[in-house]
Amino acid sequence: MRLVLLGAPGSGKGTQGSVLAAHFGVPHVSSGELLRDHVATDTELGRQVRAYLERGDLVPDELVLDVVGDAIVAASSYGGYVLDGFPRTLAQAQRAFDRAARAGETADAVIYLDVPDDVARARLGLREQSDRTDDADESAVERRLEVFHAETLPLLGFYRERDVLVPVDAVQPPAAVTAAILESLEALDTR
């Protein structure tokens, strides 16, 4: 199973990514975690990424592709992946789709975890006690939501055109969101 999770910051991509990866027995590849690991270990890439994360801006495509590309290739050898946090822009989606299509590895489904901004803000506010520096500042949270609306929401049309988009109401409790995702994936298999 090859799944991509899309959603606003705070929509539950990390939570659902972990659960779905365990359910399908494939690796969970989180671009955010990969990038934060580079920041935490103070790699050269991490130092470049830190400033973008602290402002709430998207990390440039080249940096993300360097990190995520290798992880996706490695995950594919396990029979699939659950990818969260990538792609975040139409340019990333087009590049990733073209590359995956050439390899016969396009996503089976793109799950859109739909939450209103007020729910995303409330969830991100709960993260302020964690080590997530990108969620600790209110202006950075607002910037992340603005960037999501401007850069990531256009991906819905891109994936809808490819008939792989699965919208899910992600305001529900996590277990209910997982159940809705699995039910939607079963419906895709019977089409």
Q: Specify the residue for token string 């490695």.
A: 74
Active site residue 121: no
Q: Exactly one of 2, 36, 50, 88 is catalytic; which is it?
A: 88
Please give the Cα distance from 34 to 38 (Å, whole number): 7
Q: Is 162 a catalytic residue?
A: no
Classify strands 28-30 and 2-7 as parallel, antiparallel or unpaired: unpaired
Angle between helical axes of 61-76 and 44-55 (0-180°, round to 10): 110
- Is 127 in the active site? yes
Provide Rg for the chain, Cα atoms: 16
Tokens of 169: 């109401």
Q: How many C-beta neighbours within 10 Å does residue 174 have? A: 12
Point out the catalytic residue in the list 144, 160, 162, 191.
144
End-to-end CA distance of the chain: 16
Active-site residue (options: 95, 99, 123, 132): 132
Distance from C-alpha of 60 to C-alpha of 52, rounded to nearest angstrom: 9
Task: Indicate if 143 belongs to the active site.
Answer: no
Please report where in the chains the tokens 């995702």 appear, as a residue. Answer: 181
Q: Which of 2, 13, 36, 50 is an active site residue? A: 13
Neighbours of 99 (CB within 10 A): 14
DSSP SS3 for 58: coil
Catalytic, 123? Answer: no
Marked catalytic residue, from 55, 121, 123, 127: 127
Residues annotated catalytic, as ranges: 13, 88, 127, 132, 144
